[in-house]
Amino acid sequence: MRRLFLIAVPYLWLLALFLIPFVIVLKIALSDTALAIPPYMPTLDFAGGWQAIKDFFSALDMENFVFLTEDDLYWKSYLSSLQIAAVSTVLTLLVGYPLAYGMAMAPDEWRPTLMMLMILPFWTSFLIRVYSWMGILSNEGFLNQFLLWTGLISEPLIILNTNSAVYIGIVYTYLPFMVLPIYSALEKLDGSLLEAAEDLGCSRLTAFWLVTIPLSKSGIIAGSFLVFIPALGEFVIPSLLGGSGTLMIGKVLWEEFFSNRDWPVASAVAVVLLLILIIPIILFQRNEQKEREKNQ
């Protein structure tokens, strides 16, 4: 009996506040805009009886989804988001792997301190960390000042409000999410495997490529998903660091909702984004499940 209660409480909470909202999003995506509060119709009126419910379902249509395919903005944004998220993930991996590797190879006494240094940015406000780049990448920002002062450039580089700033922003803010899983996988690596590889004729570099990297695969996969999936729907970074030319679907959704007040279209955008994400999310969960079972 007690077990039932223990399961039921979090279960019901999540059903009510996580799952059901998604159903509602789907419903709104199939509705029309209305100059009303709430700004969509039809609304489901239970009091109207069975006829009202039938009317409700007949008024739903795929109009919004069709609209998404007609207007260039949307599919371009989806594509652009996929591209930006993918490139950022790769960049984060390139920056994050050596960092994780350095931490894993460091002497034991240093580990707690290094871990603390890696975790501190993670606990610091995301918004602030993105904001900090505004002051660095702007035309009068720190980076341009420094480069002009050293004479490396003669004109300020335009970085802020371009896609490049978005890449930098994503790599910077999501770095701990890539480093920590890779570090955790590398830490478990048995040093004697590398010694065995070298004993059998590998150079240090080959041993790294043939032994270390494959064995840290689970960390690489976990880290990549932890960057790619949220980055796809990012809003804050493209909003603050990107320009009007930066097309990311999170920004499009926000603007559709808050600026255009077109809730049905915003919902349709969300539904499509979710469909795009389902496969990566399932893959991520499968990977996590496999890891958990391996460790038990």
Partner 1 sequence: MRRFTWFNATALTFGFVFLYLPMIILVIYSFNASKLVTVWAGFSTKWYAELFQNDAFLDAAWVTLQVGVASSTLATILGTMAAYVLVRAGRFHGRTLFSGMIYAPLVMPEVITGLSLLLLFIGIGLDRGIFTIILAHTTFSMCYVSVVVSSRLVSFDQSLEEAALDLGCSPFESFRLVTLPIIAPAVISGWLLAFTLSLDDLVIASFTSGPSATTLPIKIFSAVRLGVSPEINALSTLMIGIVAIGVISASIVSKRAAVKQRQDEQAADRS
- Which residues 76-115 are close enough to bind partner 1 by CB under 8 A? 95, 98-99, 101-107, 112-114
261 CA to centre of own chain? 25
Quick check: 15 binds partner 1 (CB under 8 A)?
Answer: yes
| One of 32, 131, 158, 164 touching partner 1 (CB under 8 A) | 131
Binding marks (x or -) toward partner 1, 159..188, rule CB under 8 A? -------------x--x---x---------
Q: Which amino acid appears at position 84 of this protein? A: I
CB 185 within 8 A of CB 290: no
Q: What number of residues does the chain have?
A: 296
Q: Out of 2, 152, 275, 294, point to the residue binding partner 1 (CB under 8 A).
A: 2
Task: Decide: 249 and 180 in contact? Cβ < 8 Å.
Answer: no
* Least separation in angstroms between CB 202 and partner 1: 14
Cα gap 231→286, rounded to integer Å: 20
CA distances from 1 to 9, 133, 263 (A): 13, 54, 43
Among 159, 166, 265, 273, binds partner 1 (CB under 8 A): 273
How many residues lie near partner 1 (CB under 8 A)?
94
Half-sphere exposure of 162 (CA within 13 A, CB side): 8
Q: Which of 24, 53, 79, 196 binds partner 1 (CB under 8 A)?
A: 24
Q: Considering the complex, what minimum distance in angstroms separates the CB of residue 217 from partner 1?
A: 19
Let me know: does 249 contact 273? Beta carbons within 8 Å.
Answer: yes
CB of 251 to partner 1, least distance (A): 9
Among 207, 250, 262, 265, binds partner 1 (CB under 8 A): 250
Closest separation between CB of residue 16 and partner 1, Å?
8
Closest distance between partner 1 and the C-beta of residue 65, in Å? 16
Please identify which residue in 157, 202, 213, 254 interacts with partner 1, judged by CB under 8 A: 254
Among 42, 157, 158, 235, binds partner 1 (CB under 8 A): 235
Q: Which stretch binds partner 1 (CB under 8 A): 45-53, 54-62, 63-71, 269-277?
A: 269-277
Cα→Cα distances 154→137, 148, 151, Å: 16, 6, 7
The answer to whether the CB of 226 falls within 8 A of the CB of 176 is no
- Does residue 245 interact with partner 1 by CB under 8 A? no
Q: Is 133 a binder of partner 1 (CB under 8 A)? A: yes
According to the binding rule CB under 8 A, does residue 42 interact with partner 1? no
Decide: 29 and 65 in contact? Cβ < 8 Å.
yes
CB-wise, 68 or 273, nearer to partner 1?
Answer: 273
30 scored as a contact of partner 1 (CB under 8 A): no
The binder of partner 1 chosen from 18, 46, 50, 149 (CB under 8 A): 18
